[in-house]
Amino acid sequence: MASAQTTETELIRYPQPVATGVERPADELPTYEQVTQELEGGFSLPPTDGGKHAWLLLFACFMLEGMIWGFGSSYGVFQEYYSTHEPFAGSSNIAVVGACAMGIMYMWIIPMFVLLKLYPRLRIWAAPVGLTIMCLSLGLGSLATNVTHLIMSQGIMYAIGGGLAWTPILFYIEEWWVLRRGFAYGATMAGLGLSGAVLPIVLQWLLDSYGFRTTLRVCALSVVALNLPILFFFKPRLPISQTTQSRSFDMTFWKTSSFLIFQSGSILQGLGYFLPTIYLPTFARSLGASSNQSTATIILLNGAACIGSFCMGAAVDRFAVVNCIGLTALGSTLTVFLLWGFSTSLAPLYAFCLLYGAFAGSNSSSWSAIMRDTKEKRNGADTGMIFACLSAGKGVANLCSGPLSEALLHADSWRAGFAYGSGFGALIAFTGATALLSGWSYAAKKIGWF
**Mean of the per-residue pLDDT values of the chain:** 84
Read off the pLDDT band of 98 (50, 70, 90).
Answer: confident
CA dihedral 331, 336, 340, 346 (to 10 degrees): 30
* CB of 26 closer than 8 Å to CB of 3: no
The three-state secondary structure class of 315 is: helix
Note the pLDDT of residue 61. Answer: 94
Note the pLDDT of residue 196. Answer: 81
The three-state secondary structure class of 106 is: helix
Written as one letter, the residue type at 168 is P
Each domain of the chain, given as residue ranges in start order, spans 4-31, 52-237+246-447
Question: Smallest Cα–Cα separation from 150: which of 214, 111, 100, 80?
Answer: 100
Largest CA distance in the chain: 86
The answer, yes or no, to whether residue 43 has pLDDT greater than 80, is no
The three-point CA angle 223-109-101 to 5° equals 50
pTM score above 0.85 = no
State how far the Cα of 380 lies from the Cα of 377, in Å rounded to an integer.
9
State how far the Cα of 11 lies from the Cα of 67, in Å rounded to an integer.
48
State how far the Cα of 365 lies from the Cα of 277, in Å rounded to an integer.
18
Selected residue with higher pLDDT from 44 and 265: 265
* CATH architecture classification, 52-237+246-447: Up-down Bundle (1.20)
State how far the Cα of 258 lies from the Cα of 308, in Å rounded to an integer.
24
The answer, yes or no, to whether residue 376 has pLDDT greater than 90, is no
The three-state secondary structure class of 378 is: coil
The answer, yes or no, to whether residue 77 has pLDDT greater than 90, is no
Question: Smallest Cα–Cα separation from 263: which of 391, 365, 356?
Answer: 391
- Contacts (Cβ under 8 Å, ≥6 apart) of 414: 420, 421, 425, 426
Question: What confidence tens digit (pLDDT) does each residue in 22-35 have?
Answer: 344 444 444 434 44
The answer, yes or no, to whether residue 249 has pLDDT greater than 80, is no
Share of the chain above pLDDT 90, in %: 40
Read off the pLDDT band of 3 (50, 70, 90).
Answer: very low
Question: What confidence tens digit (pLDDT) does each residue in 216-225 have?
Answer: 999 999 988 8
State how far the Cα of 225 lies from the Cα of 193, in Å rounded to an integer.
20
Read off the pLDDT band of 295 (50, 70, 90).
Answer: confident
Note the pLDDT of residue 282. Answer: 84
